[in-house]
Amino acid sequence: MALGSGEVAYGKARHALEPGGTLALVWNTTTGEENRSGVGSRLEAEIEQVYRREAPQLANGVPSERGPDRQHEIQARGAFVEVVREDYPWSTAYTSEEYLGLLRTQSDHRLLDPPVLERLLTGIGLVLADHGGRIDQSYVARLYLARRAQ
């Protein structure tokens, strides 16, 4: 069986810890709670239309890092035991400028051809302008704690 990058990473993390040491991993992801209000739903739908038009490979709603629950993944690698997950919800509001700046930092956006990225951000900026020039975003900071296997 070939080693995947997760297996290598968890093995290296295990090696770096003393016996009985604890690994702490944190992922910050959007929660999608903005979908529960009419305004958020309209805004998200309009932004999704821009994604479908300009960058269809990223057209999965408002961009996020909604990832899998990694608790089983961490446990399954065998390097850690007693894996615990804790979620810490939080939210913030971004101005159009702040939100577009945030999108520029996301790796999937950075990999777009520059003209495609600029068309995408321009389109999103226009949508945000039509919705008051801001976007409310709900997040969850997902903490995983795992004890090093002996």
Mind giving me the DSSP string for 83-132?
A: EEEEEEEEEEEEEHHHHHHHHHHSHHHHTS-HHHHHHHHHHHHHHHHHTT
Cα torsion through 55, 61, 64, 69, rounded to 10: -120
pLDDT in tens, the chain (150 residues): 233 456 788 889 999 999 999 999 998 888 754 443 445 589 989 999 999 999 999 886 444 444 568 888 898 888 999 999 999 999 999 999 999 999 999 999 999 999 999 999 999 999 999 999 999 998 999 999 999 998
Give pLDDT, residue 62: 44
As a whole number of angstroms, the distance between CA 147 and CA 8 comes to 17
Give pLDDT, residue 41: 81
pTM: 0.71
Would you give the DSSP letter of residue 77? T
Give pLDDT, residue 64: 44
Give pLDDT, residue 102: 95
